[in-house]
Amino acid sequence: MESVERADLLVIGFGKGGKAVAGTMARLGKRVVVVEQSPEMYGGTCPNVGCVPTKALVHRAGHRRPTDPPQEWYERAVGEVHAITSLFRKGNFDAMDGLDTASVLTGHAEFTGAHTVRVDTGGEHVTIEAEHILINTGSVPVVPDIPGLRASRHLVTSTDLIHRTQLPERLAIVGGGYLGIEFAAIYRRFGSQVTVFETGSRILDHEDDDIQAAAEKILVDEGIEIVTGANVTRVHDGDGAATIEYMHDGREHTLTADAVLAAAGRRPATEGLGLAAAGVRTTEQGAVQVNEYLRTSRQHIFALGDVNGGPQFTYVSLDDSRIVLDQLTGSGGVRRTTDRVAVPRTLFMTPPLANVGLTETEARTAGYRIKVASQPVAEIVAMPRAYVVDETRGVMKFVIDLDTDEILGAALLTVDAQELVNVVAQAMRHGIKAEDLRTAIYTHPSSTEAFNDVIGTVVRSDDE
C-alpha cells in the first residue's frame, strides 16, 4: 500500500537536535513529520542507549557494597534503568506526536529525490514530500576488523551490554578511549573482572601525562587490568566463553572472557539512507558533509548531531538545533558551528574526569606563555565536600595565559567534575580572568569553592 504526505519539515531520526527543531516548528504551526526507525529509539541515543542509561548505571554501580551479590545487584539495577528509559521514551513520543501539526512515523526512511523520502513502516510505504529535511540519524558502534570478533557469540556493543540482565563475570574491552574506560569503571564496580586492551602506548592519550597517570592509577586501584600496546589478533569461541588472542611486548597471550565489548568508537549512521538520490554529499569518513550553518550540499537539507561528523555529544546536537532554527525561522542566521568555543566534555569514571579548552601540552605547542595551577583533591583545604562524600581521589589542573590571566583550559578529575567544568567553560567564553574565578564567592561546602585554592597554587610558570 502506498500513500503520499506533504510536510513543511521532515526529520529523519528522533535524536536531540532533530526533535528540538521539530517541536519548535510544529508549535509555530508548520506541518512536521518525524521518522524513527526503531520504536526503542524515540528520543534518540541519549535517553535510550547513551547518556541516561550509562550514567544511571554509574550511579547504581557506585552504591553496591562488597557484601551485595554482584549478579543480584546488577539485575536489579538494569531493571530500574530500563524503567527510566521506557518512561523517557514514552514521554518523547507523546510530546512530539501530541502536537497538533506533528506526527511520528516508525519505519526505515530512504531518499528517492531531493525533496522526497520513502518510509517503509512494515505494513505500508509512505512517501513524504517536504520543503525542508533534517538528517538526524546519529551514529552506530564501530566493530574492529579483528578475525573472529564479528562472528563471536560473545561480542557486545555498548547498546547490547546495557540491555543484558546477566552480569559478565569476565569482561574484555577492546579500546581504551572514553567509551571503553567508562564501561570498564561501571562493570568493575558491579563486580566483573575487567581487562581493557589499548593499541596505543597509554589510555586517554589526549590528556597531559600528569592527568592521565592520575586517572589510570584510580582505574588500576579499582582492580581494572589495562593492557596498553596490545594488538588483538583473533577472537574465537569456546565452551561458554571467548578466547582473545593478542600480542604484547613481542609475545603472544590469551585471555578468556564471557563478553567482549567493542569500544572502538562510533561512526555516522548513513547506510541505507539513499543520500545519492538526494544529491547529498558525504565526507571521506562517511559523515554527511555540512557547512557552518549545517546545510548539506542541498541547501534545503540539514544534518544535525553525530551524523554530520561533529563532536559526538548530546549537548552539541542541541546546539545544532539552535543553528538550524536560526536558518528555518529567518532570525538572521546568527549562530554557526564556527562560533563554538570552550565546549566541555566529561568521562564518567569514578570520580569523573572533565576537560575544557587546551591541555598544557597543546597550549605550549600553540606558543602560549603559560602558568599551570594544579593540586590533588585530597590537599585542597577549601574543599571539605570531597571528605564529606568520601571521595578525595583525583586532581584539578588549570592552564592559564601568563600574559592575559585568561583560562586556556582545565582538567578536573574530581567529584562533581561534570558540574565544575561548566563553570570554567562559561568563564572562558566570557573572558573572565583566572584571578576573578579564584576570588569569587562560592557556597560552602561545595566543590566549586576548590577554585579558591587551586587557581592560586601555581606549580609551573614560563615567567620563572
pLDDT of residue 45: 79
Active-site entry in 115, 132, 206, 444: 444
Q: Is the pLDDT of residue 426 over 70?
A: yes
Burial of 222 (0-12, 13-18, 19+ CB in 10 A): middle
DSSP string, 406-463: BEEEEEEESTTHHHHHHHHHHHHHTT-BHHHHHT----SS-SGGGHHHHTT-EEEETT
pLDDT of residue 452: 96
* Mean pLDDT to the nearest integer, 231-239: 94
- Grouping H, G, I as helix, E, B as strand and the rest as coil, residue 78 is helix
> Are residue 450 and residue 400 in the same domain, yes or no?
yes
My answer on whether omega of the bond before 445 falls inside 30° of 0, hence cis, is yes
Domain final position from 339, 374, 391: 339
**Could you tell me the three cell numbers for 390?**
568520601
**Could you tell me the three cell numbers for 441?**
564567592
> Are residue 18 and residue 127 in the same domain, yes or no?
yes
> Are residue 163 and residue 45 in the same domain, yes or no?
no
Q: Is 150 part of a structural domain of the chain?
A: no
388: domain CATH number is 3.30.390.30
pLDDT of residue 1: 65
Report how far apart, in Å, the C-alpha atoms of 410 and of each of 345, 406, 413 are. Answer: 11, 11, 10
Q: Is 372 part of a structural domain of the chain?
A: yes
Give the model's confidence band at 155: pLDDT under 50 very low, under 70 low, under 90 confident, else very high. very high
Structural contact between residues 266 and 140, judged by C-beta atoms closer than 8 angstroms: yes
> Are residue 198 and residue 316 in the same domain, yes or no?
no
* Dihedral sign from CA coordinates of 403, 418, 355, 210: positive
pLDDT in tens, 356-396: 999 999 999 999 999 999 999 999 999 999 999 999 999 99
57: domain CATH number is 3.50.50.60
Q: Confirm whether pTM is higher than 0.95.
A: no
- Structural domain of 259: 155-264
φ/ψ of 317, rounded to 5, equals: -60, -40
> Are residue 228 and residue 130 in the same domain, yes or no?
no
How does strand 259-262 pair with strand 170-174?
parallel
pLDDT of residue 259: 96
* Mean pLDDT to the nearest integer, 63-74: 90
The verdict on whether 444 is a catalytic residue reads yes
Q: Is 381 part of a structural domain of the chain?
A: yes
pLDDT in tens, 408-423: 999 999 999 999 999 9
pLDDT of residue 239: 87
Q: Is 84 part of a structural domain of the chain?
A: yes
> Are residue 15 and residue 133 in the same domain, yes or no?
yes
pLDDT of residue 44: 80
**Could you tell me the three cell numbers for 175?**
579500546
Q: How far is the C-alpha of 288 from the C-alpha of 294, rounded, in Å?
A: 10
Q: Is 145 part of a structural domain of the chain?
A: no
Structural contact between residues 219 and 204, judged by C-beta atoms closer than 8 angstroms: no
Q: Is the pLDDT of residue 351 over 80?
A: yes
pLDDT of residue 22: 94
pLDDT in tens, 105-130: 999 999 999 999 999 988 889 999 99
pLDDT of residue 50: 76
Q: Is 430 part of a structural domain of the chain?
A: yes
Number of domains the chain contains: 3
